[in-house]
Amino acid sequence: MRNIKLIVEYDGTNYAGWQRQNNVITIQQRVEEAVEIVTGNFSEVTGSSRTDAGVHAKGFVCNFYTESKIPSSNFKKALNSFLPEDIVIINSKEVDEKFHSRFDSLGKRYIYTIVTGAERPAIGRNYVYYFHRNLDMEKMKEASKYFLGTHDFSAFKKTGSSVKTSVRTIKELQIVKEEKTIKFSIVGDGFLYNMVRIIVGTLLEVGVGRFSPEYIVDIIKSKDRSKAGKSVPASGLCLEEVYY
Amino acid sequence: MRNIKLIVEYDGTNYAGWQRQNNVITIQQRVEEAVEIVTGNFSEVTGSSRTDAGVHAKGFVCNFYTESKIPSSNFKKALNSFLPEDIVIINSKEVDEKFHSRFDSLGKRYIYTIVTGAERPAIGRNYVYYFHRNLDMEKMKEASKYFLGTHDFSAFKKTGSSVKTSVRTIKELQIVKEEKTIKFSIVGDGFLYNMVRIIVGTLLEVGVGRFSPEYIVDIIKSKDRSKAGKSVPASGLCLEEVYY
């Protein structure tokens, strides 16, 4: 069997996330439907992660097995012609039979985008989170350093989500402001459920002055979800890249 | 009667343009509905221009007359709470009773955005026009100079549109490329129906090598719509600012 790796960009606004579920439309379902049309057979398409409803991706990775003889680089064009306009295959490539988009991932980069200013934006509103309060950039940058490294991030995962371990490594966390837009770029070896959104929500508490930058250390130590900030909305989140 | 001037940002994707029409939803209608809720009376809201279906605006201007005693700067907040998320009032201000958003306009800036690259974009697709062919930036910039100044732009208006005169003045036409995005920024004292979109479509013909830059002079002289390029899609167009 051939193993085909895809890189996918999607606008998650109208989807209930990546993973196939009953009674709602997901990106996985749309990609599997396109694969079935193009190859003539159903193949399960394995994603690098579950993304939540409303979350976007510029570099989502997934793979599927097929007997189809279509040259691997042609899958891109063929699939795109059967995908809706909010999903697009950026790249298709045949990979080693053992390649698994989730298990083999070494890390991911997410970007969370906030727009500040006096009024909520109309244009591009589905790709950002509008936050009207003033934010202290220096304090947020200072706070962001405390997330770096390997920690038990239990305080930064959605309550009720069960995983073997909540230990993760954050390799990079950069906060950049350009006019009204603030981007939080975060690279880690893996992320717990809602982890990026809770980290950003916690940094906003620092930005408005409710938490001191050093308080991040206490929150991490506490392993207590209720100590951290809110989970910010899905619309601002985009999976930029998956590393192998 | 008080005369209230509004600056409006909107995402035109789901609207049949600014101007009120039967059987379709327009931005004018939504703003008039909000004004009626807030003031208690229907007021016609006069726009600075008609924008087409799917065209966006960051700085659309309109005005309406009212007896309402609401402080003029409060209209913004009040209207925004009754407007859908794809329309937002950026500014509200009481102006001279004689101010007319269309007749008093001295000029407008539009930006048309193209995205190039190997694949159509999924994210932000409603705000751009995806053009997959290579474009010669230098040739397009050279061609853009021939539009500057005062000309009869009959070749650059939708056939069938009737106006007193097709003479308009283009004050500025800049083309800027940043990574995959090309922005055409154009300032004029006024624009004919579809004029910006036909100018951009004609510059694309230059960019792909079908027209020489100097051929713009001949097209303008011809006053013949069939000589110019295609009208590019509405999605890429945004009314940035109206000057008074």
Statement: residue B100 has pLDDT above 80? yes
Q: pLDDT averaged over chain B?
A: 96
Residues B148 and B86 in one domain: no
The ipTM is: 0.91
Confidence at residue A73, expressed as pLDDT on a 0 to 100 scale: 87
Per-residue pLDDT reduced to its tens digit, B114-140: 999 999 999 999 999 999 999 999 999
Within a domain: A189: yes
Residues B135 and B26 in one domain: no
Within a domain: A46: yes
Residues B167 and B210 in one domain: yes
Residues B146 and B233 in one domain: yes
Residues B230 and B164 in one domain: yes
Least confident stretch, A135-149, B61-75, B150-164: B150-164
Within a domain: A101: no
Residues A83 and A181 in one domain: no
Q: How many domains does chain A have?
A: 2
Cα A24 to its chain centre, rounded Å, is 20
Shortest CA distance from A130: residue in chain B: B85
Confidence at residue B35, expressed as pLDDT on a 0 to 100 scale: 97
Within a domain: B54: yes
Within a domain: B191: yes
Statement: residue B162 has pLDDT above 80? no
Q: Residues 69..98 of B with a Cβ closer than 8 Å to A: which? A: 76, 80, 85-90
- Give the residues of chain A that fall short of pLDDT 70: none
Which of these three, A49, A70, A95, is where a domain ends? A95
Within a domain: A155: yes
Residues A160 and A201 in one domain: yes
Contacts of B9 in chain A (CB under 8 A): 119, 121-123
Residues A17 and A119 in one domain: no
Which of these three, A68, A95, A122, is where a domain ends? A95
Per-residue pLDDT, averaged over B17-25, amounts to 93
Which of these three, A95, A126, A149, is where a domain ends? A95
Within a domain: A130: yes
Cβ of A86 within 8 Å of Cβ of B122? The answer is: yes
Residues A236 and A118 in one domain: yes
Q: For chain A, what is the HEC assignment? A: CEEEEEEEEECHHHCCCCCCCCCCCCHHHHHHHHHHHHHCCCCCCEECCCCCCCCEEEEEEEEEEECCCCCCCHHHHHHHCCCCCCEEEEEEEEECCCCCCCCCCCEEEEEEEEECCCCCCCCCHHHCEECCCCCCHHHHHHHHHHHCEEEECHHHCCCCCCCCCCEEEEEEEEEEEECCEEEEEEEECCCCCCHHHHHHHHHHHHHCCCCCCCHHHHHHHHCCHHHCCCCCCHHHEEEEEEEC
Please tell me whether residue B201 adopts helix, strand or coil conformation: helix
Per-residue pLDDT reduced to its tens digit, A201-225: 999 999 999 999 999 999 999 999 9
Q: Report the CATH number that the domain containing residue B45 is assigned in CATH.
A: 3.30.70.580
Residue B52 bears catalytic tag: yes
Confidence at residue A198, expressed as pLDDT on a 0 to 100 scale: 98
**Could you tell me the residue range of the domain that residue A49 belongs to?**
2-95
Within a domain: A60: yes
Contacts of A80 in chain B (CB under 8 A): 119-120
Confidence of residue B184 (pLDDT cuts 50, 70, 90): very high
Confidence of residue B159 (pLDDT cuts 50, 70, 90): confident
Q: Report the CATH number that the domain containing residue A219 is assigned in CATH.
A: 3.30.70.660
Residues B138 and B225 in one domain: yes
Statement: residue B161 has pLDDT above 80? no
Confidence at residue B163, expressed as pLDDT on a 0 to 100 scale: 82
Residues A188 and A154 in one domain: yes
Residues B8 and B89 in one domain: yes
